Amino acid sequence: MVMLEQAVEHRPEGESFFDLCRRTLDRRVLVSQAAEARICRLSCSPRELPEIWQWLTRYLDFSFATLVVDEIADGRWSFSYLFYRESSPWVYLEFPLEAPHAVVPSVVGLHKGPAADWHEREVEDLFGVTFEAHPRLGEFILHEDWPEGVNPMRRSFDARHPPVHRDPDPSWQPPTVVEAVGAFAMPIGPVFSDFAESAHFLLETVGEDVIRTIPRLFYKYRGVEKIAERQPVDRALLLAERFSGTSAFAHGLAFCQAVENISGVEVPPRARALRSLFAELERLRHHTAVITGICNSTALAIATSQAALIEEELLRLTCEVAGHRYLFGLVRPGGLYRDLSEQMQERLEKALDGIAARLDQLHASLRYSSSFLDRLEEVGIISTERARSYGLVGPIARASGVPSDLRKLFPYAAYESVDFEVPTAEEGDGYARLRVFFFEAQQSVFTVQAILSALPPGAISAAGFTVRPGAALGAVEAPQGAAFHWLRIGDDGTVARYRTTSPAFTNWHGFHLAAENFAFQDFPIILASFGLSNAECDR
């Protein structure tokens, strides 16, 4: 290959991205355009993967979105690595793989490699593909009693019946890393706390601070991607909404956008505006719930109550204007199921004024509670380069100085017409995350009010369209960050492959960075300051 670095540096004026690829990459790599030059396809062989990964992430500063593995026939996979960057086409790096040689080089050691870590482990667990030189394969999604060699995402696996579980090795124990005199691993979960979602943590320590923690997730794995297969689109939409109830609208929207991208459907402007409105309403409520969780973890009771009041009022408001407290059953491919009446618009506007004022007051009061700030400031820090390296997304990444937001990078629905801000902070500690959540909540209120003031009239759904076969990506900024839903619809109009990468999946990976090297008693607070959902990660 041409010296990749130099190729980028000495880029001639006005060269398109596609030409750059053609010029730089090996002739064996096929460069093609798709979707009106919004997607750049690079078809290569597995051996070239590491080098192209390095080129894209290091020199061209692309971010890794997701890895889509599709078993198109028995023993034949197609791998797609998806990358994105500001003002650039998406890059789909694709190669096929045949069963007897199902080994792919791992990219975890490369620049921004950790972002692919969990993707590779998931593929290994669910498809049985080995990633060469990945140091920690196995025991990821499928826990220790799952039979060896049975991979649920394979075509040959029947999704209706569980396999025969094996007796796990009696001496098996979760891997620990710390070697020191008197070191022990304090277990938390999977059943713990009052209302925590099920997950298991092993805090390795020698008594005071947590040296290493390895969260063990996927206790709630429900196989959404598998059971969506061979379902009609409107049934699969139910799955997309419900695997993460608190971000139901966002995931439903991403799914619908994927369907619309496949079928080339144009969503009417009123529907687009309402989609942004409801998405922001969901974001507002989600962030308020996270703030309630943070106040609860620091045992600041009145603040918790104040925030919980706002959260419940938002839930009731959502129920009034959208028919369901969590916005279930609202979005559909082509638009929305329900419209927003004049009366409800007024109700929304009035209510939001009050809520914005109370959020401001809460924020101001919290800013002056020194005992509260003590628990959050300089606790649970993720540095900017770690956040970039792990590919973290959403408010958590923005609190660590990574300003990426899909609403600004690839505006969808009606976001282009609203001039809202995306806040960032530099410290990456709990307080930075809290500030980002507050600010984003305020911006959500602003966005909703802006949309309400200029709501276009018209239909709320595209007139009846048929779902065409094809594959496309729907990318949405869910409340916790970038959500990618890849959909391939088969010839019979049912789902052939459904791949979701949720922001919780991406961000849970980076959780251990924040929890390590802090005291035991900070752990629940760090956990709360992330506000991540296990259901969203485990699917």
User: According to CB under 8 A, which residues from 185 to 244 bind other proteins?
Assistant: 185-198, 200, 202, 205-208, 211-212, 218-224, 226-227, 234-235, 238-239, 242-244
Nearest distance in Å: CB 449, other proteins: 20
64 with 389: CB under 8 angstroms?
no
Q: Select the residue interacting with other proteins from 6, 16, 45, 173 (CB under 8 A).
A: 173
> Phi, psi at residue 527, to the nearest 5°?
-60, -45
Nearer to other proteins, 124 or 538 (CB): 538
518 with 380: CB under 8 angstroms?
yes
For residue 3, state whether it binds other proteins (rule: CB under 8 A): no
DSSP code, position 324? S
Nearer to other proteins, 22 or 367 (CB): 367
Q: Select the residue interacting with other proteins from 89, 329, 380, 503 (CB under 8 A).
A: 329
Which is it for strands 76-84 and 63-73: parallel, antiparallel or unpaired? antiparallel
Nearer to other proteins, 14 or 191 (CB): 191
> Given the structure tokens 């251990």, which residue do they identify?
512
Q: Select the residue interacting with other proteins from 96, 138, 147, 168 (CB under 8 A).
A: 168
Nearest distance in Å: CB 204, other proteins: 8
Q: How crowded is residue 194: how many other Cβ atoms within 10 Å of its Cβ?
A: 5
Nearer to other proteins, 2 or 133 (CB): 133
> Given the structure tokens 């390590």, which residue do they identify?
516
Nearest distance in Å: CB 411, other proteins: 27
Which of these ranges, 43-51, 67-75, 129-137, 436-444, lies near other proteins under the rule CB under 8 A? 129-137
Nearest distance in Å: CB 461, other proteins: 8
- Taking each helix axis as running N to C, give the angle between helix 248-263 and helix 233-242, from 0 to 180 degrees, rounded to the nearest 10: 150
DSSP code, position 501? E
Residue 534 tokens, joined: 């296990």
For residue 387, state whether it binds other proteins (rule: CB under 8 A): no
For residue 155, state whether it binds other proteins (rule: CB under 8 A): no
Compute the distance between CA of residue 243 and CA of residue 248 in angstroms, rounded to an integer. Answer: 8
Which of these ranges, 49-57, 64-72, 329-337, 431-439, lies near other proteins under the rule CB under 8 A? 329-337
Q: Select the residue interacting with other proteins from 254, 387, 406, 535 (CB under 8 A).
A: 535
Nearest distance in Å: CB 362, other proteins: 9
Footprint of other proteins on residues 433-472 (CB under 8 A)? 461
Nearer to other proteins, 147 or 264 (CB): 147
For residue 182, state whether it binds other proteins (rule: CB under 8 A): yes
Compute the distance between CA of residue 220 and CA of residue 222 in angstroms, rounded to an integer. Answer: 6
For residue 39, state whether it binds other proteins (rule: CB under 8 A): no
Nearest distance in Å: CB 381, other proteins: 17
Footprint of other proteins on residues 463-522 (CB under 8 A)? none
Residue 471 tokens, joined: 């594959």
3-state secondary structure of 90: strand
Nearest distance in Å: CB 198, other proteins: 5
Which of these ranges, 70-78, 106-114, 394-402, 415-423, lies near other proteins under the rule CB under 8 A? 106-114
For residue 337, state whether it binds other proteins (rule: CB under 8 A): yes
Which of these ranges, 18-26, 102-110, 262-270, 447-455, lies near other proteins under the rule CB under 8 A? 102-110
For residue 41, state whether it binds other proteins (rule: CB under 8 A): no
User: Which of 498, 508, 440, 514 shows the shortest CA–CA distance to 197?
Assistant: 508
Which of these ranges, 15-23, 65-73, 76-84, 107-115, lies near other proteins under the rule CB under 8 A? 107-115
CA dihedral 55, 58, 60, 61 (to 10 degrees): 140
3-state secondary structure of 489: strand
| Burial of 62 (C-beta count, 10 Å sphere; 0-12/13-18/19+) | buried
User: Any long-range contacts for 198-203 (C-beta under 8 Å, 24+ apart)?
Assistant: 198/534, 199/534, 200/174, 201/523, 202/174, 202/176, 203/515, 203/520, 203/523
* Side-by-side strand order, sheet with 470-478: 470-478, 481-489, 495-501
For residue 245, state whether it binds other proteins (rule: CB under 8 A): yes
Compute the distance between CA of residue 538 and CA of residue 152 in angstroms, rounded to an integer. Answer: 15
Footprint of other proteins on residues 50-89 (CB under 8 A)? none
Compute the distance between CA of residue 212 and CA of residue 145 in angstroms, rounded to an integer. Answer: 25
Footprint of other proteins on residues 282-321 (CB under 8 A)? 289, 300, 302-303, 305-306, 308-309, 311-312, 315-320
* DSSP secondary structure of 393-455: -HHHHHTTT----HHHHS--TTGGGS-------SS-SHHHHHHHHHHHHHHHHHHHHHHHHT-
Q: Select the residue interacting with other proteins from 18, 157, 410, 465 (CB under 8 A).
A: 157
23 with 3: CB under 8 angstroms?
no
Which of these ranges, 50-58, 73-81, 163-171, 410-418, lies near other proteins under the rule CB under 8 A? 163-171
215 with 200: CB under 8 angstroms?
yes
Nearer to other proteins, 22 or 386 (CB): 386
Nearer to other proteins, 10 or 160 (CB): 160
For residue 183, state whether it binds other proteins (rule: CB under 8 A): yes
For residue 370, state whether it binds other proteins (rule: CB under 8 A): yes
